[in-house]
Amino acid sequence: MSDTPGAAAAPAGAPGTSYHGQPILKAPVWTWEIPTYFFFGGMAGSSLGLAYATHVRGDALAARRAWLTALAGLSISPALLIADLGRPSRFLNMLRMFKVTSPMSVGTWAVSATAAATGLAALDAVGLSPPGAISRTAVSRAAVLGRPAAALGGLSLASYTAALLVNTAVPVWHEARWTLPVVFVSSAALSAGGACAAATPAAHAGPARRLALIGSVAELVATEVMHRRLGMHAETYRSGPAARWGKLSRAGIVAGAALLLRGDGRNRAAAVGAGALLCAGALATRLSVVAAGRQSAADPRYVVEPQRARLAARR
Amino acid sequence: MKLDVQTWPVAYAAEAKPRKGFFTDTSLCIGCKACEVACKEWNHVPAEQHGFSGKSYDNSLALGADRWRHVAFIEQRIPAGIDEGTTLVEAAARAEAIRAGAPVTARDGMRWLMASDVCKHCTHAACLEVCPTGALFRTEFGTVVVQEDVCNGCGYCIPACPFGVIERREDDGRAFKCTLCYDRLKVDHTPACAQACPTESIQFGDLEAMRERADHRVAQLRERGEDTAQLYLSDPDDGIGGGGSIFLLLDEPEVYGLPPDPVDPVRSVGETWRASLVAAAGLAVAIAGAAWGGRR
């Protein structure tokens, strides 16, 4: 950087020109809770789609396991989101308004509504009714609407978190506005497939296994495409924590998918191992993307150079 | 799809006041840091422990939760003899040599740039647009302010700001930035920094008047041969719809740590949501394919 006295007189606009090498942007303050939530929210969201599809297909057992997997993911999510707030006691302020310009606002409402619908679908699937005056038939009737609502909500949970990151000034996120959502839904699909395949008896786990495999291939391809299209910004994925998490992510996904294929749907232990590997891979993807954001914000080059090029092109 | 949040002056109707703003003329800044101090005093911004940064006279380095005004110091070598009739070619060659590491001699001059930075109070303010609680709002003066009793410290505004202005105060958990002295504006007072500035480098008033003054001043400086004098954020058609704080700079923005062509990231939120919808639809197709695409 232009830290040395001699370089201070570099021609204005030369690459690397900056104020004593100081970052221009403030790095995101989110700690591990947020990428971990991205993982659980995506896993749960995609499981909801799978639950609904298997329900429609008529496999009550596979659907039940998927609803419960989703419910587990959705139960962890609020705790992670609240823990990351600077003022956790004020988490309800999130529901003061609904703003389409803020994916975080849209997402908070989506998580809340989806969790309610999922609770209903899961209650019906296990054949319970909540304590009190509500009967099982009432639950069943409500679940007729609750199931598709949960599935739609699930699709939004799997994708909105990418919009949340894209909607910032962090170059490596903002410039990936078409590819990051694909990476995120793929990551959601493979983790949901992996988790549901592990939670479901082999004879009923065909859809989950296939979803895990489709998601794995899509994730590896989408990540590669994202890196290529990011140009200079892709450097952040090749260094530091972002690169290390990225490597772990690829290893987990490839190993998990291979194990799932080899288990061929008869070996439950292999499915559990594969599910764990896939979920670890999906979590590592989210950690890698958030780490890349931090690295991208820390280097003024990623802000100045593309903006300079944009100005030059306009002239 | 264009999502435009119009809160001022529309939302205020008859209570809307003329838009207020700063014009920071860095050609008049003497680096006294009175603005930094006055801001801290008036707004009860906590003190910080700085070490010696080694970066000219600047130890506070950037705007943040505990620095709502920040004075930048840039030391630039001016090639030898530039004021004594050296030709431009010779001067450029000398500058090139210094850049390449040639020792600086007593004959080489120095230019010291000083500039007081502040929140830009953008027309299209990303921090405000992404804030999920509504803690960030636009005042009747068209400025952008955080309501500290509403902010829950979600941190979304921080990476959203294309200038790196707003920041979370770690021991407090909430986000803080310049309020353009909202309390003082309410009682027709000048913001503390502008009041304290001894050289009128920081000027305050109706934004329209500030723009006119800036146009006049940059023309004046250019006439005097300050070829690199330029206005920053004075164009209402730029990526943030123009700043509520405008600046006159003597070098390119990035030299002062400012982005040369800032854009409100929320401007493309329509596209962002479209991409998200496409991905969600793709996921639905993948799930359907997985459910119905095999024997079991």
The model's pLDDT over B195-204, given as tens digits with 9 standing for 90+, comes to 999 999 999 9
The confidence score (pLDDT) of residue B83 equals: 60
Are residues B95 and A307, on separate chains, in Cβ contact within 8 Å? no
Q: Check pLDDT > 90 for residue B130.
A: yes
SS3 call for B20: strand
- Chain B closest-CA separation from residue A56 CA (Å): 9
Mean pLDDT of chain B: 92
The full 3-state SS of chain A, as one line of letters, equals CCCCHHHHHCCCCCCCCCCCCCCCCCCCCCCCHHHHHHHHHHHHHHHHHHHHHHHHHCCHHHHHHHHHHHHHHHHHHHHHHHHHCCCHHHHHHHHHCCCCCCHHHHHHHHHHHHHHHHHHHHHHHHCCCCCCCCCHHHHHHHHHHHHHHHHHHHHHHHHHHHHHHHCCCCHHHHCCCCCHHHHHHHHHHHHHHHHHHHHCCHHHCHHHHHHHHHHHHHHHHHHHHHHHHCHHHHHHHHCHHHHHHHHHHHHHHHHHHHHHHHHCCCCHHHHHHHHHHHHHHHHHHHHHHHHHHHHHHHCCHHHHHHHHHHHHHHC
SS3 call for B266: helix
The confidence score (pLDDT) of residue B166 equals: 98
**A169: nearest CB among B61, B99, B265:** B265
pLDDT band at B1 (very low <50, low <70, confident <90, very high): very low
Helix and strand tally (H, E) in chain B?
8, 10
Model pLDDT for residues B221-262, shown as the tens digit of each residue: 999 988 889 999 999 999 999 999 999 999 999 999 999 999
Question: Among residues B126, B128, B154, which one has the least CA distance to residue B139?
Answer: B128
Residue B205 phi, psi dihedral angles, 5° rounding: 170, -165
Strands of B245-249's sheet, edge to edge?
A: B202-206, B20-25, B245-249, B230-232
The answer, for A47 touching chain B at a CB cutoff of 8 Å, is: no
- Chain B closest-CA separation from residue A240 CA (Å): 20
The answer, for B199 touching chain A at a CB cutoff of 8 Å, is: no
* Distances from the Cα of B162 to the Cα of A25, A167, B32, B144, B259, angstroms: 6, 11, 27, 15, 8
Q: Which of A19, A90, A307, A314 to mutate to test the interface with B (most CBs of B within 10 A)?
A: A19
Residue A225 phi, psi dihedral angles, 5° rounding: -65, -40
Reported as type and span, the H/E element at residue B177 is none
Are residues B262 and A103, on separate chains, in Cβ contact within 8 Å? no
pLDDT band at B6 (very low <50, low <70, confident <90, very high): low
What whole-number distance in Å separates Cα of residue A257 and Cα of residue A278? Answer: 7
Residues 231-260 of A with CB under 8 A from B: none
* Distances from the Cα of B22 to the Cα of A79, B180, B236, B245, angstroms: 42, 9, 15, 5
DSSP-assigned beta bridge partners for residue B70: B117
* Distances from the Cα of A22 to the Cα of A16, A301, B246, angstroms: 11, 10, 21
The confidence score (pLDDT) of residue B49 equals: 82
Q: Check pLDDT > 80 for residue B57.
A: yes
Question: Among residues B115, B105, B32, B137, which one has the least CA distance to residue B71?
Answer: B115
Q: Which of B133, B136, B258 to mutate to test the interface with A (most CBs of A within 10 A)?
A: B133
The confidence score (pLDDT) of residue A142 equals: 93
Residue A312 · residue B260 · CB < 8 Å? no
Are residues B283 and A104, on separate chains, in Cβ contact within 8 Å? no
Model pLDDT for residues B165-179, shown as the tens digit of each residue: 999 999 999 999 999
Is the reported ipTM for this assembly greater than 0.90? yes
The answer, for B76 touching chain A at a CB cutoff of 8 Å, is: yes
Model pLDDT for residues A256-296, shown as the tens digit of each residue: 999 999 986 678 899 999 999 999 999 999 999 999 999 99
Residues of chain A with pLDDT under 50: 1-16
The confidence score (pLDDT) of residue A3 equals: 36
Please report where in the chains the tokens 């958990």 appear, as a residue. B173
What whole-number distance in Å separates Cα of residue A83 and Cα of residue B153? Answer: 11
Better-predicted residue by pLDDT, B293 or A267? B293
The confidence score (pLDDT) of residue B296 equals: 61
Residue B253 phi, psi dihedral angles, 5° rounding: -55, -40
Q: Check pLDDT > 80 for residue B91.
A: no
The confidence score (pLDDT) of residue B104 equals: 73
H helical segments located in B150-268: 157-160, 182-186, 192-196, 207-223
The answer, for B228 touching chain A at a CB cutoff of 8 Å, is: yes
Q: Which of A101, A166, A173 to mutate to test the interface with B (most CBs of B within 10 A)?
A: A101
pTM recorded for the entire structure: 0.93
Are residues B173 and A86, on separate chains, in Cβ contact within 8 Å? yes
pLDDT band at B85 (very low <50, low <70, confident <90, very high): low
Are residues A100 and B77, on separate chains, in Cβ contact within 8 Å? no
What percent of chain B is predicted at pLDDT more than 70?
94
State both tokens at A219: 């994730």
**Residues in chain B within 8 Å Cβ distance of A96:** 133-134, 150
